[in-house]
A and B are shown apart, each in its own frame.
Chain A
């Protein structure tokens, strides 16, 4: 079974803080993704990575950055958290460029006060 874990289930931060969200997958998947999920808007792709040190912007990258130093780990960074970044953040992974199924972690509910 694919296992994707996220460092925190719930996080509360203050405006202006730097926030790190960590994701680890244990199935040697090449691709990793960060989404945010908001009511009525569904899942929106923030960034994805198809290899170590490689990244591509998704639909809503503004205010976020990512880091992938090791194949199993993909970090999402909010450089200066703002209240409009309060959301559910979901990490996912997929095997490679020919396998489209994505496997999700449990999510991190981030609240920015």
Chain B
């Protein structure tokens, strides 16, 4: 079993839709959770970072962590064509440098 699982999609939504991206992980030792956005032919850029259960909001983006279910989500409200990218979840443990990445979900937002 992979340490972190992410549905690769692709996911296609109309402009303005609410997007839900999800990852599950297998080890409860993971305590730090990140979402990265990667545009085509570019490096990943950090979108959200959280370390506690619950929600963290930043503009149109909300990161949600449910440690009891080992489930993390990223919600995008009022999605825009500029949100079209691959979204990667990433998790890590305290004191460790070996971050684990999901395979990425490719999102297309159609005008």
User: B22 to nearest A CB, angstroms?
Assistant: 15
Given contacts A33-B97, A58-B98, contact A100 B41 (CB under 8 A): no
| Contacts between chains A and B (CB distance < 8 A), count | 52
Partner of B97, one of A4, A31, A59: A31
Which residues of chain B in 1-57 are interfacial with respect to chain A, using CB atoms and an 8 Å cutoff? 6, 8, 32, 34, 36, 41-46, 49
Counting CB contacts under 8 A, is B59 at the interface? no
What total of chain B residues lie within 8 Å of the partner, measured CB to CB? Answer: 23
Whether the Cβ atoms of B92 and A100 lie closer than 8 Å is: yes
The verdict on B88 contacting chain A, using a C-beta distance below 8 Å, is yes
State the CA gap A3–B76 with chains docked (Å).
Answer: 26
B98 in contact with A97 (CB, 8 Å) = no
Check A105–B88 contact: CB distance below 8 A: no
Interface size of A by Cβ–Cβ distance < 8 Å?
25
Question: With the chains together, A40 CA to B102 CA distance in Å?
Answer: 10
Q: Which residues of B pack against A, CB within 8 Å?
A: 6, 8, 32, 34, 36, 41-46, 49, 88, 90, 92, 95, 97-99, 101-104
> Told that A45-B99, A101-B46 touch, could you supply 20 new A-B pairs with CB distance under 8 A?
A41-B103, A42-B6, A42-B102, A42-B103, A43-B101, A45-B98, A48-B97, A50-B97, A58-B98, A94-B97, A100-B32, A101-B49, A102-B34, A102-B90, A103-B46, A104-B43, A104-B44, A104-B45, A107-B42, A107-B43
16 contacts across the A-B interface (CB closer than 8 A) = A4-B43, A33-B97, A40-B8, A41-B103, A42-B6, A42-B88, A42-B102, A43-B44, A58-B98, A90-B43, A97-B95, A100-B32, A102-B34, A102-B99, A103-B46, A107-B42
